[in-house]
Amino acid sequence: MMKRVIWLISGLNRRMMKLLFALALIAYIASVWGTYTNMRSIQEHGEMKIEQRIDEAVAPLREKIRDLEQSFSQKYPPVKFLSEKDRKRILITGGAGFVGSHLTDKLMMDGHEVTVVDNFFTGRKRNVEHWIGHENFELINHDVVEPLYIEGLAKRVGARLLLASTSEVYGDPEVHPQNEEYWGHVNPIGPRACYDEGKRVAETMCYAYMKQEGVEVRVARIFNTFGSRMHMNDGRVVSNFILQALQGEPLTVYGSGAQTRAFQYVSDLVNGLVLLMNSNISSPVNLGNPEEHTILEFARLIKSLVVSRSQIQFLPEAQDDPQRRRPDIRKAKMLLGWEPVVPLEEGLNKTIQYFSRELEHQANNQYIPKPKAARMKKGRPRHN
């Protein structure tokens, strides 16, 4: 009897031991699982924190990458498609300058291939940077003190040569308005002589080369032109007056201000240049606005448009400063169908807005330009 009891107790103990072991095992497994899940939760939470920090650090880089992608996928101004036979290859020396860059825009948008050569002395890469990377555009940094021999290039490839001449070839004219048959009235040793005679001899050389080598030549005699991308310190009357008015400085007028000039907006000039380049007119053509204003009228107009409190300051008149300047454009009207269309005040308002933006840009870069004293050389201003 005792043995059975002992055996029964022993059996119960074994079962109890098994049950206790199972319970202990379950408790251990539950403990391990709990530890594992806690560790997993901590790990996931830690990973989330790490990912968050990485995202915060990478966000500015992503922004920069997006900016770079946008710059590489630059959107160009609209360009007309031209077939191979209609598309011209055009070289523009000084194509990053004031007039040159606007001519570049016109020819590019018309669908031609344009190569710009410039040393960026007065021109700026900013003027043509919106074309960089376009398949029809090429920019070369070169100074023509190392000659390109473009007249020889024109002869070799059968190209046409367009010379951007100037109304300065007429000097201080005795004929008014000035037509293309007028030979001019120039002091060959005066303070303006280098520029005046330089342009006159450029025309001479072009026509001599045309007669000698048969190269087609076009000559544009450009009268006073203004607009965006003018160099702020070029000493010209428009840039001087606008800069002085915007900065509240006196508007400097040389002499009485009774000298007259005729001002055209740059887009009108560019349209005239393109028409002349595509024409059969081999003799010089005046491109200018026949609307004549005195320098004093012009100073007052700019002061009014800027709404400036600047005063007008009169300085001594310069030697050989032309007293009257107005183009006779009958030839351009008749043979090219060209005449200026942009009203003076409209063009001036656009130019004033451009100069205002430039002043803001340069102020942010800690540089405030000052208007030059109209490029005085031995008493000579530039009222042109």
CB 296 within 8 A of CB 261: no
**Catalytic-role residue among 28, 76, 149, 195:** 195
Residue type, 281: I
- Residue 195 annotated among the catalytic residues of the structure: yes
Backbone angles phi, psi at 162, to 5 degrees: -110, 120
Per DSSP, helices labelled H in the chain are: 2-72, 98-109, 150-157, 193-213, 237-246, 266-277, 295-306, 330-336, 344-364
- Total Cβ atoms within 10 A of residue 338: 22
Residue type, 214: G
* DSSP secondary structure code for residue 234 in this structure: S
Round to whole Å and give the CA distance between 233 and 239: 7
Q: Which residues lie below 8 Å from residue 60, measured CB to CB, with a gap of 6+? A: none
Which SS3 state, helix, strand or coil, does residue 169 take? helix
Q: Strands 260-262 and 292-294: what pairing? A: antiparallel
Round to whole Å and give the CA distance between 264 and 136: 29
Round to whole Å and give the CA distance between 261 and 323: 9
Q: Which residues lie below 8 Å from residue 227, measured CB to CB, with a gap of 6+? A: 98, 102, 265, 266, 267, 347, 350, 351, 354
CB 362 within 8 A of CB 370: no
Q: Which of 221, 206, 204, 199 is nearest to 160 (CA)?
A: 206
Q: Which residues are designated catalytic?
A: 195
